[in-house]
Structure 1
Amino acid sequence: MTEATGIDAKMPPAKPSDEADQNQLKMAKEEGAKYLASLDYMAEKVADTGGKMRAGDYIVAFAQERAEGMFHRKDGKLEWIEAPSDMNCHMEIAVLDAADHRFIPYLDIDCTLSLEGQEIVRFKPEFLWHPGLYHYGRDLKLPGDGVYDLSVKIAPPTFPRHDEKNGKRYADPVEVTFEKIRIETGHE
């Protein structure tokens, strides 16, 4: 299991290869810079609380808001569905490549929220499309406002990786814990 470290810990820079030339690598970093700026805006300005941490080849981030409705596909059509009345927390998880800060899709993520050392809820966040920021997330039922610990475990992804020079990454499971996060429950 890879330990969490500071966000600014350096990754070796990507090198031009037969899969990605210098211009493609530059564009990937530019895309990642925009994604990171959107993430920082969501976690620091929009969400009730948020944070991020480096773990191996990843940057793992969270943002917490009140439970919220979403469009779901139902009978072949999109239908707006309000958050169930017993749900009172929306937890968002974003996972970025530590080298270029782009969003990483198709991950198997397990999360646990604990309160005063007692596990309250385990959940698997699902991919969520958002007009400002791709992320994983889920509405949850919590006992109420409080100071929680959030554990995020990410299994090594099963998708193939291009590029013999730059593709050997995301090989190890990682776990991060965000301690003492203030959660305010409710509905939007």
Structure 2
Amino acid sequence: MSGKHTLQPSEEVDERHLELARHEGEAYQRAAKHMVDEVAHTGAMTEVGDYVVGFAQEEAEGLYHVRDGALQWEEPAENQNCHLEVLVAETETGRFLPEMSPRATLTDQEGNQTGPMEVPFVWHPGLLHYGRNFELPGAGTYEITIELDPPAFPRHDEQNGERFDEPIEAHFQNVEIEPGRK
């Protein structure tokens, strides 16, 4: 079963609960739009089936990582010059979708590919997303392809839970990328 599905009141969820879920999604989408339009060098969002998929591109940046049971700040590797953030939400409510394991491929105008590469979950104080640093050959125009496999998480609700069941690809054409390091 693929395509876009509409949530309906059921034994598991009433109209008030659906309204609250949509309010949560509206807040997430406002934060995503802020990141894509005002914070990142470039970004975009699109709908593919039951998913809203987006990206935001920035300079490579440091992140905390857990090493030996403790948080340690790590600067980007010397060769890393780009940070790609991937946003994944559901179309019906706009809420963030966890456990998605997106893969991103960036292809320059000459057909040189970077990726596919896994883009892990990153906690961010303003916007939950997936993200990673990587190396690009330089500034220019790229195509970004984001692939998503169906998530392994269970779906609640016999009436509404049959969704996110097929792999999808989101394509972003003519993306002007500005590599760099923070």
Match of 1:146 among 132, 140, 144: 140
Match of 1:125 among 103, 119, 131: 119
Alpha-carbon RMSD:
1.4
CA contact (8 A) 2:5 2:163 kept: no
Stretch deviating more after TM superposition (15-24 or 175-184): 15-24
Match of 2:57 among 59, 64, 70: 64
Q: Which runs of 5+ in 2 are unaligned?
A: none
- Number of residue equivalences: 180
Where 2:89 maps in the other structure, the secondary structure is strand
CA contact (8 A) 2:85 2:129 kept: yes
Where 2:132 maps in the other structure, the secondary structure is strand
Structure 2 length-normalised TM? 0.95
Query: Which residue of structure 2 aligns with residue 8 of structure 1?
Result: none
Where 2:164 maps in the other structure, the secondary structure is coil
Deviation, 1:122, is 2.3
Segments of 4+ moved more than 4 angstroms: none
Fraction of identical pairs, as percent: 41
Q: Which runs of 5+ in 1 are unaligned?
A: 4-10
Query: Which residue of structure 2 aligns with residue 7 of structure 1?
Result: none
1:22 is aligned with what amino acid?
E
The superposition leaves residues 116-157 of structure 1 with CA deviations (integer Å, 9 ceiling, x where unpaired) of: 122233211000000001001110101111111101111111
The superposition leaves residues 91-121 of structure 1 with CA deviations (integer Å, 9 ceiling, x where unpaired) of: 0000110110000010132211101122233
Query: Which residue of structure 2 aligns with residue 87 of structure 1?
Result: 80
Structure 1 length-normalised TM? 0.92
Q: Distance in 2 between matches of 1:154 and 1:132?
A: 23
